Chains A and B, each alone.
Chain A
Amino acid sequence: MARVKFLCDADRCIDCNACVTACKNENEVPWGINRRRVVTINDGKPGERSVSMACMHCTDAPCAAVCPVDCFYTTGDAVVLHSKDLCIGCGYCFYACPFGAPQYPKTGNFGSRGKMDKCTYCSGGPEPDLTDAEFEKYGSNRMAEGKLPLCAEMCSTKALLAGDGEIIEQIYRERVRTRGYGSGAWGWKTAYKETVST
């Protein structure tokens, strides 16, 4: 089966936040939780660069490794998901994640962490596919409908690519070759232990 990945082309990202808005809307993400965000490095200075970041769905995911209740699992598409029923809101996955993907609502006692929420690659969760229960907890399941994550679909400049890892790698490589420059696939070495050769 395909091993899906995200690739944000930092040379194309214009910090429009369409991906953020699309994700928020499609998954009805509650207040205070931001599954996807756009980080702008050197904002306002020459050499400003923006990167869109959610969960990278790493190979050998650190979040899954440190979870005390083992609530993570990897789907056949290599999407890293978790069960909110098993999650105890301890926060360890956030400490381990290099990308800061796990988010917690402040619903516990004294405003402490509730159940962890993060980008699901629009693949839902352990509940049966395309049920209300799944949507309530995890957001939409576009992958079960044969679609790709909405953030990448809505990207205004096609900076954010999602889909089969080899295909998006190929797309990116061709882009770099055609225009003559490319800053590389941000986060790929950390997440997938590989870079895109250009």
Chain B
Amino acid sequence: MRFGFAAIMLAFAAFVVSSASPAHADEPKVLQQSVKNPDASSNPTASSVSEDKLFKELDRIAGRISIPDSKAGTLIQPEGREWRKLHQYVAPLFGAIVILGMLAALALFYSIRGRIRVEKGFSGINVLRFTSFERFVHWMTAVCFVILGLTGLNIVFGRPLLLPLVGPDAFSTLTQYGKYAHNYLGAPFALGIAIMFFMWVWQNLPSPIDWQWIKQGGGFIGKGRPPAKRFNFGQKTIFWSVVLIGGAISVTGFVLLFPFWGTTIWGMQLAQLVHSAGGLLLFAVILAHIYIGSLGMEGAFSAMGSGTVDLNWAREHHSIWAKRATVVDNDSGKPLGTAPLPAE
């Protein structure tokens, strides 16, 4: 029964195929093949979309897929090309300019101005500047930042600069561990930024004295020591740079750590660009901060190192704050009372 049915179908198929002769059947075969759709029937896929048309209407082409990963529904995302251009060319250029520019500016400043000295020399009397908690938070954030910054720079510049020196296996291992360090240290860094914000925000709000400080060039250029409270305008700039840029880096960092948790691919690309631009910029700013706190100014490091500063240093650089600073005993570190008023 089935065999007979198959035979009939086969015969019918053969009949259909043989009778489906084009209208110009008597013409030579060569011409036949180049005639478009000789039945003159319509294009069955005429109502379907074409790639060019879709690109004109939308910024990407997407559809339905059978697999659970919804990202796979995007067939073509052209913004990957934009991201590539920005990530490969614009970001490293920006980074090179700000970081090398900052290093050059600092070198120039040091060659002209030299180390900023305490004019009256050290008095030997120390006043309390930062508590141990403040110092702990600062150093936790600072150490995290240095490692985060270096591993981050490795991601941006490592391939052209470091890879040729150490070879692919060593570089890959280095970058792999760098990635782990970068991912884990992001959390204490973000925490440190948050704590520093709440600790110091009230003392970093702009005040009229700041304008005085700016007019006198902060004492960096020209003569004279402008008055300042606990934090001068330069330090306030550092504070707000760290909090705002560091905050942006932290937020985008978390977005990158948990990819596609609520972001589209464009969201991830944007987060990556903000993260790298912020990181490069903050790295340049912190270079200046490290400079002034170590080489650039005599007597500054002890503020964060031991927590105390010399009284003369305090009077020269933070005169208003120095009036109410607490003197500490040099040996025991115990507070002794407010600093004596200056002689003049």
Contact = CB atoms under 8 A, between A and B. Distances in A.
A95 B272 contact: yes
B46 A181 contact: yes
B63 A86 contact: no
Given A40-B64, A42-B63, A43-B64, A71 B172 contact: yes
A156 interface: no
B65 A38 contact: yes
Contact of B73 (A39, A42, A186): A39
Nearest to B46: A181
Contacts, number: 159
A53 B75 contact: yes
B169 A70 contact: no
A179 B33 CA distance: 10
Chain B binding surface, main DSSP class: helix
A62 B50 CA distance: 24
A123 interface: no
B62 interface: yes
A100 B71 contact: yes
B66 A38 contact: yes
Contact of A95 (B51, B175, B183, B265): B265
A78 interface: no
Interface stretch (B78-86, B125-133, B336-344): B78-86
Contacts of B63: 39-43, 49-51
By size class, the interface of chain B is 35 or more
B48 A69 contact: no
Nearest to A67: B159
B158 interface: yes
A72 to B, nearest CB: 11
Interface string B15-44: 000000000000000000110110000011
Contacts of B54: 41
A87 B171 CA distance: 11
Contacts of B179: 88-90
A177 interface: yes
B38 to A, nearest CB: 8
B257 interface: yes
Given A66-B88, A112-B257, A47 B49 contact: yes
A98 B82 CA distance: 10
A41 B168 CA distance: 41
A181 B43 contact: yes
B312 interface: no
Contact of B87 (A17, A32, A41, A66): A66
Contacts of B183: 109, 112
Contacts of A85: 169, 172
A100 B34 CA distance: 38
A68 B175 contact: yes
A26 interface: no
B37 A37 contact: no
Contacts of B163: 69-70
27 contacts: A11-B48, A37-B72, A38-B66, A39-B74, A41-B49, A41-B75, A43-B64, A47-B48, A48-B48, A62-B81, A68-B156, A68-B159, A69-B158, A85-B169, A85-B172, A92-B272, A95-B80, A95-B87, A95-B268, A95-B269, A95-B272, A100-B71, A109-B180, A178-B33, A180-B43, A181-B43, A183-B48
Given A39-B74, A69-B163, 16 more contacts: A11-B48, A39-B65, A40-B63, A42-B63, A43-B64, A49-B49, A69-B159, A70-B168, A87-B172, A88-B175, A95-B80, A96-B80, A96-B84, A97-B80, A180-B36, A190-B76
